[in-house]
Amino acid sequence: MLHVALVGAGGMARNYRKIYTLLPDVEWTAAIDLNPEQLEKCRAEGAKRTSEDFAEALEMDIDLVDISTPNHLHEQQAVAALVAGKHVLLQKPIANTMEAAGRILKAAAGSKGVLGMYMSSYANPMVWEIKQMMEEGHLGKIQSVRARDSHRGGLRHPPEATWRSSRDQTGGGSFIQLSIHAVNLMQWWLSSPIVEVSAFSQNQYSPNIGGDDLTVCIAKFAGGAFGVFDSGYASEGVIREIYGTAGWVRMFERENQLEMNLDRPYTSGWLNYDTPGIRKTFSMPPRVLDDASSPINPHRMFIEAIRTGKKPMMDGETGRRDLAVVIAAYESAAQNKSVAVCNSKTA
């Protein structure tokens, strides 16, 4: 039995906290949050005990600490849990600074616990379809990719300060919060790290947000492809596009749709693209955030990695690598020049 403490159970974690009551041989032992109302809900959903005190996550009976608190708290909580020998599943971004990410990785290196990143993209069946298509060569050689990650939260943000409105606490603004998903995913799809970026970043329409409400970043992958990533807090849209020498595919995340035009037919469990050269759109199944029976459920995958002793698919180093791209983009915008991504593990 694996005993889990969910820390920061009341925000994004609301969408998946129930998974810990569904996974086999897992017990949702503790929910820790500062919001008593959310703690009450956690108890009703199956948490064995609840607390406002993070120290409860370090108790003897806890094996895994799932941290879904604001970015600036990741370091202190993850380091404490790793030092106590717990496994840690950490929300993106790994931290709000590279220095903090380095300290988390150092704690992980000296811990008997395993560190993994929770990246919600992988709960999406479309993501795996595209990976399969690429691995089977249906897109040919990848020449360029584009990704947009935006919502209008910046227009709606109230004047009261929150961690999300603080540039220091988030580590930036829309780009660190939103585009980190695409930065992570594109590097996984292409099996190639981003090595250099050039970006513009500004805040034009979101007075209550401290960081950027628009960033556009051009990226160069080690394998030779170029990418464009843009994030926004004052306009809508989430899309991923991949263009190769044998076809292209577009993924509309919110609409659960895949659009493609390939030179060759492609068939899988979900898709039947049987008309080479013709653009087609497919409706895809929704994400599986709380489906314990799904092999692509990110919580299930992390727990399987712990149990089998395999490296988690999204480990701490992946989290550091993704953050390095984001920080390089902010540096590029500030310095008005392209910036090499710091890919040194020891930096």
Q: Which residues lie near ligand NAD (CB under 6 A)?
A: 7-8, 10-12, 32-35, 38, 54, 68-71, 73, 91-92, 120, 177
| Nearest to ligand NAD of 89, 130 (CB atom) | 89
| Nearest to ligand NAD of 91, 150 (CB atom) | 91
For residue 266, CA distances in Å to 56, 134, 243 come to 50, 11, 16
| 138-141-144 Cα angle (round to 5) | 110
Nearest approach in angstroms of CB 337 to ligand NAD is 28
Nearest approach in angstroms of CB 102 to ligand NAD is 18
| Nearest to ligand NAD of 32, 134 (CB atom) | 32
Nearest approach in angstroms of CB 77 to ligand NAD is 7
Strands (E) located in the chain: 2-7, 26-32, 49-51, 64-67, 87-91, 115-118, 142-150, 194-202, 214-221, 226-232, 237-244, 247-252, 257-262, 266-267, 272-273, 280-283, 339-340
- List, in sequence order, the alpha helices (H) in the chain: 19-22, 36-45, 71-83, 98-109, 125-135, 153-156, 167-170, 174, 180-190, 298-308, 316-335
| Nearest to ligand NAD of 67, 305 (CB atom) | 67
| Nearest to ligand NAD of 8, 125 (CB atom) | 8
| Nearest to ligand NAD of 220, 321 (CB atom) | 321
Nearest-angstrom CA–CA distance, 107 and 5 = 19
